[in-house]
A and B are shown apart, each in its own frame.
Chain A
Amino acid sequence: MAQPAPGDLSPVEAQLLRLADDEYVLAERYTEWQIFAPTPEADLALANIAQDEFGHARLWYDLLQDEFGYEEPDLLWERDPGNFVHSPLVELETPDGDWADTVVRSYLYDVAERLRLDALADSSFDPIADRVRKVQSEEGYHREHAQSWLDRLTGGGGDAHRRVQSAVDRLFPYALTLFAPTANEDEIVAAGVRTRALADVRADWLDEVVPYLESLDVVVPDPSAVSHPDEVGRDGSHTGDWAALHEEFTATYHELGFDDPATLRSENA
């Protein structure tokens, strides 16, 4: 089986790949906090969230394997980095010790994720609709976690508030790429794979995140004035941070040269 490439996919494949890649790459970034978070409780919470996101990625990658015949190496280990379609929001490297960056990214992503899942709950492709509920229940906890941290970081003013502001300035333009269409956007909606257009989901997202962040005295860039980053992810274009991350997480796979990636379903399912 060839590896999936953006622009050459059925609507269901295109939708699944966006979901899976977003979750997988975000989880890689979350795991960078393992043991490094500010307190043991924060560490535990983030490890838990990383675990959930890898789990969701596996769920969507499994569907691509079961329904479309791909194998794990096609989807992860041997896929060309230019054929990944995650939003660059999730690939950006976290500045050293910048917990605010992680909390802001998590919040921007988790709200979008909830809206996206809502738009998939009645998918015409049953296997997607079936899995949405499980993912939704966990994502709710992620969003609460991010919001609780945002409330606290901005509540005391000072340095922490400035860091949140600077993370919003940096990440907001990249967050808008979450709603950038793939080549299949019209077909995805026409076929009912997703029941709402990305433009509508984006409008709802703005209606939620902008007032919330402003209520924390955080200035949000005017979306119509934001010039999108050149890299929008959905077409396979990515920032330099992605190449480095991709190289890191595939290096051992290539070094070992095993016949197949190990599966542990009996223990881990």
Chain B
Amino acid sequence: MDIDDVKARAGPREFSPSDDLPLEYREAATRMLEFHANSEVMGGYLDKEFTRMAPSLDRKLACTAKCQDEIGHAQLLYRAAETLGVKTREEMLADLTNGDGKFLNCFHYPVDSWYEAPMIDFFVDGAAMRRQATLKDTSWEPYAHAMDKVCFEEGFHVKHGEDILRELMTSSKANQERTQEVFEDWWPRMLQFFGPTNDESTHNDFAQQVGLKTVSNDELRNSFLNMYMPKAEKYGLEIPESPRIFERDDGTMAVREDDLDWDEFWTIAKNDFEGSHEQIGSRRRRQEAVEWVRESMTDWETAGADSPQAAD
């Protein structure tokens, strides 16, 4: 198939590993899947903090389950990426550790309090759900298939995140104020989650033409605003005055993009933000600390042990 054939055929779950696809398509799909898988891993670096903090045993179980799900999603997505034959999982994980791998902007900001739990588990995950739901119709079948499982489990996470927010916003005045403060920090990051509208340039345009993406950044952000602004307000959060939000003629919501800090966004996109260094550095240190295990497994395999079954 050449690229024109791909564009002509592009549709939901249209292409699978049995198709002979041009490198350009396979590279674009790999880029999306790798980004998505990396984001599951780096989201886990934030979420694991909440496990230790969880203020009830049931919440702790839910936080533990969520971390487990995220690792499972990463595993599934790396596998779907590998089916494209462009990059191995080891290469993708190595790139993530050495700072070349890219991941969602929101996961470049370290967290240090429970007030941040609903920001990640409700709003950021809710934003991710908006995007992931549309990826069930992506043209790379293994990706769409992974989304079926991911979306199902994310539904539980978002529900738990919403319950954490409800609990905070119906508790003491001090807790409500802290939650509002933290929300104000996170709100612009959430709006940048979808990227700038005018970035329908390089990757996105192509990704839409070949059916990898089915919905634009702008539409996804509208959908997020329409769904999550009322929810934020329902729990008593006030939407910050800046960035300005306005209603378009068709009744959908939009944001004045000039009000957002795009320098920070693009610095993050280069993994060069202060928080990027912190989060990627944490990943690197943790991976180096267990490098000896991976080396010993290689030794064990080359030693030709007689029972090569996986421990996992």
Contact = CB atoms under 8 A, between A and B. Distances in A.
A90 interface: no
Contacts of B300: 152-153, 155-156, 160
Interface residues of A, number: 60
Nearest to A150: B311
A134 interface: no
A252 B67 contact: no
Main secondary structure of the interface of A (DSSP, over half): helix
A253 B55 contact: yes
A129 interface: no
B55 A31 contact: no
Contacts of A265: 58
Given A252-B55, A261-B55, A262-B58, A156 B167 contact: no
A163 interface: yes
A76 B299 CA distance: 43
Contacts of A264: 58-59, 61-62, 160, 163
Interface string B77-90: 01000000000000
A34 B48 contact: yes
Nearest to B175: A256
B210 to A, nearest CB: 28
Given A262-B163, A263-B58, A47 B296 contact: no
Closest 9 pairs between A and B when the two form their complex, measured CB to CB:
A97-B289, A261-B56, A160-B296, A148-B311, A41-B312, A47-B68, A156-B299, A156-B300, A38-B293
Contacts of B41: 35
B74 interface: yes
B64 A262 contact: no
Contacts of B75: 40-41, 44
A50 interface: yes
Interface in B192-239: none
A40 B56 CA distance: 27
Interface in A241-269: 248-249, 251-253, 255-259, 261-265, 267-268
